[in-house]
């Protein structure tokens, strides 16, 4: 989630609703403003396509030749598309909003269509908090970008994916040497602490400029021991 809606060079472009739907988890919508695509989640601005460095960095954190990857949160598909471009072997994309999956399959945006129709991608309509602990196999990378981070939630129920017990169950699903990477809209000492109890954590701050404002997004990476 990125924090503020975009405008075109200071001139507000006309907003076109590409698709919108009410879900049990609130309104979801895709909008176009000039060349920019915006995603609305639970009725609030979640992200747009103007500045996606941190979404791409999240994908790159899975390594140069990603194996089998779980992506929590389809969004506009930037993380997933980058993983495909990086040569990911297979990807489970878990998305809470059913309409977003349908729009991806229908090709409402080019990027979502690319992700939805790649044979290496399986789209799951599910809450990652419930989907991941139910899996029996292990994954080379688990990448989470479902909310802003523990301190500033769009969906209150997402608090559980930042909680110590859920994080431990996610690490259990990693193959030896695998990585869990979590996107946050700002550095979160609480999350860093919870992850540090499970292994060695790296914090990477990704500073981006959007509409003349500076944002310090953060990625938290935990690598499972090679030998465990």
Residues contributing to the site for ligand SAM (CB under 6 A):
1, 41, 46-47, 55, 72-79, 94-97, 100, 127-129, 145-147, 155, 158
Task: Give me the least distance between CB of 54 and ligand SAM, in Å please.
Answer: 9
Secondary structure of residue 226 in the 3-state scheme: coil
Specify whether the CB–CB gap between 5 and 45 falls below 8 A.
yes
C-alpha to C-alpha distance for 207 and 216, rounded to whole angstroms: 4
Beta bridge partners of 124: 94
Q: Between residues 21 and 177, which has the closer beta carbon with respect to ligand SAM? A: 21
Q: Between residues 110 and 200, which has the closer beta carbon with respect to ligand SAM? A: 110
Task: Give me the least distance between CB of 212 and ligand SAM, in Å please.
Answer: 22
Q: Between residues 110 and 225, which has the closer beta carbon with respect to ligand SAM? A: 110
- The tokens describing 206, both together, are 């990704």
Task: Give me the least distance between CB of 44 and ligand SAM, in Å please.
Answer: 11
Sheet holding 68-72, edge to edge: 121-125, 90-95, 68-72, 139-144, 174-184, 213-223, 201-210
Q: Between residues 75 and 178, which has the closer beta carbon with respect to ligand SAM? A: 75
Q: Between residues 17 and 196, which has the closer beta carbon with respect to ligand SAM? A: 17
- The tokens describing 199, both together, are 């292994």
Which of 90, 209, 195 minimizes the C-alpha distance to 219?
A: 195
Rounded to a whole number of angstroms, the CA Rg of the chain reads 17
Task: Give me the least distance between CB of 199 and ligand SAM, in Å please.
Answer: 23
Q: Between residues 155 and 210, which has the closer beta carbon with respect to ligand SAM? A: 155
* Other Cβ atoms closer than 10 A to 101: 19
Continuous segment of H or E residues that includes residue 134: helix 128-134
Task: Give me the least distance between CB of 49 and ligand SAM, in Å please.
Answer: 8
Q: Tokens 């944002």 sit at which residue? A: 215
C-alpha to C-alpha distance for 215 and 217, rounded to whole angstroms: 6
- The tokens describing 223, both together, are 């690598």
- Residue with the closest Cβ to ligand SAM? 75
Task: Give me the least distance between CB of 11 and ligand SAM, in Å please.
Answer: 25
């Amino acid at each position: 989630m990125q924090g503020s809606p975009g405008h075109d060079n200071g001139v507000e472009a006309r907003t076109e609703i590409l698709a919108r739907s009410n879900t049990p988890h609130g309104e979801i919508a895709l909008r176009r403003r000039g060349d920019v695509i915006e995603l609305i989640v639970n009725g609030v601005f979640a992200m747009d396509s103007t500045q996606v460095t941190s979404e791409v960095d999240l994908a790159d954190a899975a390594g140069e030749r990603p194996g089998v990857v779980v992506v929590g949160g389809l969004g506009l598909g930037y993380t997933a598309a980058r993983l495909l471009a990086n040569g990911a072997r297979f990807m489970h994309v878990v998305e809470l909003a059913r309409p977003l999956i349908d729009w991806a399959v229908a090709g409402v945006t080019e990027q979502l269509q690319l992700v939805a129709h790649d044979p290496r991608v399986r789209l799951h309509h599910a809450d990652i908090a419930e989907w991941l602990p139910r899996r029996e196999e292990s994954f080379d990378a688990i990448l989470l970008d479902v909310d802003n981070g523990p301190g500033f939630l769009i969906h209150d129920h997402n608090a559980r994916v930042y909680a110590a017990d859920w994080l431990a169950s996610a690490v259990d699903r990693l193959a030896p040497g695998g990585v869990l990477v979590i996107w946050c809209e700002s550095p979160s000492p609480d999350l860093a602490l919870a992850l540090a109890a499970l292994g060695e954590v790296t914090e990477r701050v990704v500073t981006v400029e959007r509409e003349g404002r500076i944002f310090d997004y953060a990625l938290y990476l935990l690598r499972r021991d090679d030998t465990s």
